[in-house]
Amino acid sequence: MKLFGSSLILAGTALGAGMLAIPMVLAQFGFFVSAGLMFVIFLGTTYATLLLAEACSKTAQSTSMSSIAYFTLGRKGMHITNILFYLLLACLMIAYIIGIGDLLHSMLLEVGVDLSPVVGYTLFSLVMGLVVVAGKSYIDKLNRGLFILMIAMLFVVIFSLFNNIELANLSQESQFTTTDVIQYSAVIFTSFAAIIVIPSLVSYNQDATTKQIRNMVLLGSIIPLVCYLAWLFAVIGNLGVDAVSQFENISQLIAAFDAETTMLKTVVGVFSALALITSYLGVSMALYDQNKDAVTNNSAKAYILTFVVPLILATLFANQFISMLDYAGMILVFLAIWGPLAIVIKVRKPDFAQSKNENTYTATGGQPALVATFMFGALIFVSWFMG
Q: What is the pLDDT of residues 94-105, one digit of tens each?
A: 777 877 777 777
Is 216 in contact with 10 (CB distance < 8 Å)? yes
201-212 pLDDT, tens per residue?
A: 777 777 777 788
Is 47 in contact with 218 (CB distance < 8 Å)? no
We report the CATH number of the domain holding residue 94 as 1.20.1740.10
Residues in CB range of 338: below 8 A, 6 or more apart: 374, 377
Q: Write down the H helix ranges in the chain.
A: 2-26, 30-58, 65-110, 117-134, 136-162, 167-170, 178-183, 185-192, 198-204, 210-239, 241-245, 250-255, 262-294, 299-303, 309-316, 321-332, 339-347, 366-384
Q: What does the pLDDT read at residue 296?
A: 77
Q: Pick the residue with more confidence: 15 or 51? A: 51
- What's the pLDDT band for 319 if we cut at 50, 70, 90? low
Q: What does the pLDDT read at residue 251?
A: 61
Mean pLDDT value across residues 332-354: 79
Please tell me the distance from the alpha carbon of residue 147 to that of residue 271, in angstroms, as a whole number.
10
Where does residue 114 rank: exposed (0-12), middle (13-18), buried (19+ CB within 10 A)?
A: exposed
Mean pLDDT value across residues 363-367: 82
Please give the tally of structural domains in the chain.
1
Please tell me the distance from the alpha carbon of residue 184 to that of residue 170, in angstroms, as a whole number.
19
Residues in CB range of 261: below 8 A, 6 or more apart: 160
Task: Please state, rounded to an integer, the average pLDDT across all residues of the chain.
Answer: 77
Domain range for 51 is 2-384
User: Is the pLDDT at 29 greater than 70, yes or no?
Assistant: yes
Residues in CB range of 44: below 8 A, 6 or more apart: 189, 337, 373, 376, 377, 380
User: Is the pLDDT at 328 greater than 70, yes or no?
Assistant: no
Question: What length does the chain have?
Answer: 387
- What's the pLDDT band for 325 if we cut at 50, 70, 90? low
Helical (H) or strand (E) element with 249: none
Q: What does the pLDDT read at residue 173?
A: 65
Please tell me the distance from the alpha carbon of residue 92 to that of residue 282, in angstroms, as a whole number.
11
Where does residue 33 rank: exposed (0-12), middle (13-18), buried (19+ CB within 10 A)?
A: middle
Percent pLDDT > 90 in the chain is: 0
In angstroms, what is the C-alpha Rg of the chain?
Answer: 20
User: Is the pLDDT at 54 greater than 80, yes or no?
Assistant: yes
CA distances from 313 to 34, 94, 307, 333 (A): 32, 7, 11, 23
